[in-house]
């Protein structure tokens, strides 16, 4: 069975400081992993994805994530937060060998302080 744990339900950072959103996963297979962002009243937008290629994945808007198999982690980072980064972020695990079913984490709400 697969599962995802987002370790922080809320994260607050000051504008211009680094962002770290933590995600741990459990999977019986070699998983695909995704980070999505959801702005208020908007749909889910893909930030980045890991699909067994490079372990350091770069995404849109300056975000990146590193797949660490030994730690079963896929943490999302950004060097410098912008006010527009304030949103809900979801870590997702998917089984690429089966139905590609998504298992979502519970989400982390990022607040960016001026």
Partner 1 sequence: EAGVAQSPRYKIIEKRQSVAFWCNPISGHATLYWYQQILGQGPKLLIQFQNNGVVDDSQLPKDRFSAERLKGVDSTLKIQPAKLEDSAVYLCASRASTGSGEQFFGPGTRLTVL
Q: Which among 13-21, 41-49, 57-65, 77-85 is the span making contact with partner 1, rule CB under 8 A?
A: 41-49
Q: Which residue from 30, 61, 80, 106 is in contact with partner 1, where contact means CB under 8 A?
A: 106
Q: Does position 81 bind partner 1 by CB under 8 A?
A: no
CA 26 to chain centroid, in Å, comes to 15
Kindly tell me the burial class for residue 9, based on how many C-beta atoms sit within 10 Å of its own C-beta (0-12, 13-18, 19 or more). Answer: exposed
Q: Does position 100 bind partner 1 by CB under 8 A?
A: yes
Q: How many angstroms separate the CA atoms of 56 and 70, rounded?
A: 14
Which residue, 43 or 56, is less far from partner 1 as judged by CB?
Answer: 43
Four-CA torsion 87, 72, 8, 42, nearest 10 degrees: 20
Which positions touch partner 1 (CB under 8 A)? Answer: 32, 34, 36, 41-46, 49, 51, 90, 94, 96, 99-102, 104-107
């Amino acid at each position: 069975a697969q599962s995802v744990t987002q370790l922080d339900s809320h994260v607050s950072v000051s504008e211009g400081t680094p962002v770290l959103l933590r995600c741990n996963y459990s999977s019986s297979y070699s998983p695909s992993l995704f980070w999505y962002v959801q702005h208020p009243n908007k749909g889910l937008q893909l930030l980045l994805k890991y699909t067994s290629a490079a372990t350091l994945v770069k995404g849109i808007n300056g975000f990146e994530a590193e797949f660490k198999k030994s730690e079963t982690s896929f943490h999302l980072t950004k060097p410098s937060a912008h006010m527009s980064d304030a949103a809900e972020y979801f870590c997702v695990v998917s089984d690429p060998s089966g139905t590609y079913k998504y298992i979502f984490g519970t989400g982390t709400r990022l607040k960016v302080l001026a």
